[in-house]
Amino acid sequence: MSCMNPMTVSSIILNPKRSLSTPISYSSTTTTSSSSETSSQSDETPSIFSSRFEIACLPNPGPGQKSYKLLDSLSGHLGSVSCLALCGEFVLSASQGKDIIVWQQPDLRLFAKFGAGDGSVKALVTVGNKVFTAHQDSRIRVWKVSRRSENVFRLIDTLPTTKDYMGKFMKQSNYVQIRRHHKKLWIEHADSISCLAVSNGLIYSGSWDKTLKVWRISDLKCLESIKAHDDAINGLVASNNRVYSASADGKIRAWEKEGGCHGLKGTLEGHKDVSLNAVIVSGSGQGTVFGAGSDGYLMGWETKKEGEEWKLVVEVKAHQLAVLCLCYMGDILCSGSADKSICLWRREGGREGLGGLIRVGVIRGHEGPVKCLQASPNVVGGGFLLYSGSLDKSLRVWWPLACDDK
């Protein structure tokens, strides 16, 4: 593929109605993170989820210009857009209308549609040439991607698998009480699965049933079920061999594998009686753990040493209504809200431990609450590409430029 030249990219930025219709060159690194991380592993079919594209530099907007441009608004979902994932040349968006749409780069055309009728989609992650989707019907579905198949995204399994189920249903000790006079196998979620995360060959699923389950990717077997919170789990993120779960009980909990099981490594306390809707970790190493509050606050916690208590180091009123989603691009934290806006934040001083957050940009344009965000590793001038999904059923593509908010 030929590289997009500066004049072409400039015209796209200056003309919001024009799509990314010029070929883009791909390289092999990734620098973004979101509240549901993805990873890759080898398979018999070459992975299509490992590329990144670089775009030539653009001049910064002049005085008085907005710090962002709307590049495209994509429609086609039957319901509210609930989750997003970047998959190399593809962008995947899923909805509460039970459908998953595959948009192909660089022109963002509708490439494929799958999953209709399998339950409202709450979360999705990609691993190698597989896509894992979490549904309101309390199941995880596994789709395989193959260039050689006529059906590009085909369903290959559902979790828990039939093999896993058959190996456990005969033993009474494998059942847990979920309601009065009602039991389920411990490998089954009892309510909607709200979030997924991937780390070190494992898939983690968080549910409104308050449990965190651990699945092995190689054989799709459920390894653990953890009673993680006192209320619904809304968000998960994996970072530095730890998994963080955010819950409607107002807490974020840190989990780490010790021996064969995961143990609790810390509890991060949010505001009283305020649900935490998403969680993300900044930087490398321990980093700062950020939580999205239903009261419109962004909160950040840090710990200096292993075993020490987590301290609240950031607390800012970020939005007028609930913060629903978070993602990171470099040193920029992006937050999406029920107030229909997206805010861009940078840590004061530019490093961990140096105070609060500074708002460096605000994006407006959605006609409904912003439910999901995903930053692309595309470098476009002084900004980057940001995808947002909303309850207005649209997927929008933005070019934000980090600058001081006025």
Q: Are 154 and 172 in contact (CB under 8 A)?
A: no
The CATH homologous superfamily of the domain defined by 6-400: YVTN repeat-like/Quinoprotein amine dehydrogenase (2.130.10.10)
Mean per-residue pLDDT of the chain: 81
Short-list 214, 114, 123, 210, CA closest to 155? 114
Query: Residue 358: is it exposed, middle or buried by C-beta count within 10 angstroms (0-12/13-18/19+)?
Result: middle
| Amino acid occupying residue 43 | D
- Residue 267 confidence (pLDDT): 95
Distance separating alpha carbons of residues 402 and 122, to the nearest angstrom:
30
Distance separating alpha carbons of residues 324 and 180, to the nearest angstrom:
33
> Bridge-partner residues for 293, per DSSP?
276
* Other Cβ atoms closer than 10 A to 6: 14
pTM value?
Answer: 0.83
Short-list 343, 334, 331, 342, CA closest to 375? 334
pLDDT, tens digit (0-9, with 9 covering 90-100), for 151-177:
578 889 999 999 999 999 889 888 898
Distance separating alpha carbons of residues 98 and 114, to the nearest angstrom:
9
Distance separating alpha carbons of residues 118 and 283, to the nearest angstrom:
36
- Residue 355 confidence (pLDDT): 57
Distance separating alpha carbons of residues 57 and 384, to the nearest angstrom:
11
pLDDT, tens digit (0-9, with 9 covering 90-100), for 175-208:
898 877 788 999 999 999 999 999 999 999 999 9
pLDDT, tens digit (0-9, with 9 covering 90-100), for 3-41:
333 333 333 333 433 334 333 333 333 334 455 443 333
Q: Are 273 and 250 in contact (CB under 8 A)?
A: yes
Distance separating alpha carbons of residues 61 and 177, to the nearest angstrom:
59
What does 101-153 look like in DSSP terms, one character per residue? EEEETTTTEEEEEE-TTS--EEEEEEETTEEEEEETTS-EEEEEE-TT-SSSE
What does 211-254 look like in DSSP terms, one character per residue? EEEEEETTTTEEEEEEE--SS-EEEEEEETTEEEEEETTSEEEE
Question: Number of C-alpha atoms within 13 angstroms, CB side, residue 32?
Answer: 29
What does 300-334 look like in DSSP terms, one character per residue? EEE-SSTTSPPEEEEEEE--SS-EEEEEEETTEEE
Q: How far is CA 309 from the centre of its chain?
A: 27
Tell me which residues of the chain have a pLDDT lower than 70.
Answer: 1-66, 116-118, 146-147, 149-151, 284-286, 307, 349-355, 378-380, 402-406
Residue ranges of the domains in the chain? 6-400
